[in-house]
Structure 1
Amino acid sequence: MREGLIPAVLGTVVTASAASLLGSKYKLAATGVLGFGLAHIVLGAIDLIEHR
């Protein structure tokens, strides 16, 4: 398995679930979780590109 794939996939799942919560009363928490998910996607993509 390629290095960086797990953080990228995990970040995608976290981002999607946080995006679904943006319309609820937990908007502030969902925004924070969305940022963490996007950070995982970016860091996983960097690992994927770096270790080709």
Structure 2
Amino acid sequence: MREGMIPAVLGAVVTASGAAFLGSKYKLAATGVLGFGLAHMVLGAIDLFEHR
């Protein structure tokens, strides 16, 4: 498995779950989870492109 694939996929899952909770009463927490997932996606993508 390529290095960076796990953080990228995990980030996609966390981002999707954060986006699903944006309509709830916990909007601030959902925004934090969304940002955390996006950061994982970016760092995973950097690893994927760096270790080609």
Which residues of structure 2 form unaligned runs of 5+? none
Partner of 2:19: 19
Whole-Å separation in 1 of the counterparts to 2:33 and 2:17: 9
Alpha-carbon displacement from aligned partner over 1:5-51 (angstroms, at most 9, x marks no partner): 00000000000000000000010000001000000000000000000
TM-score w.r.t. the length of structure 1 is: 0.99
Partner of 2:43: 43
Runs of 4+ in 1 over 6 A off after TM superposition: none
Aligned length: 52
RMSD: 0.2
Quote the sequence identity (%): 87
Q: Give distance in 2, aligned partners of 1:16 and 1:34.
A: 8
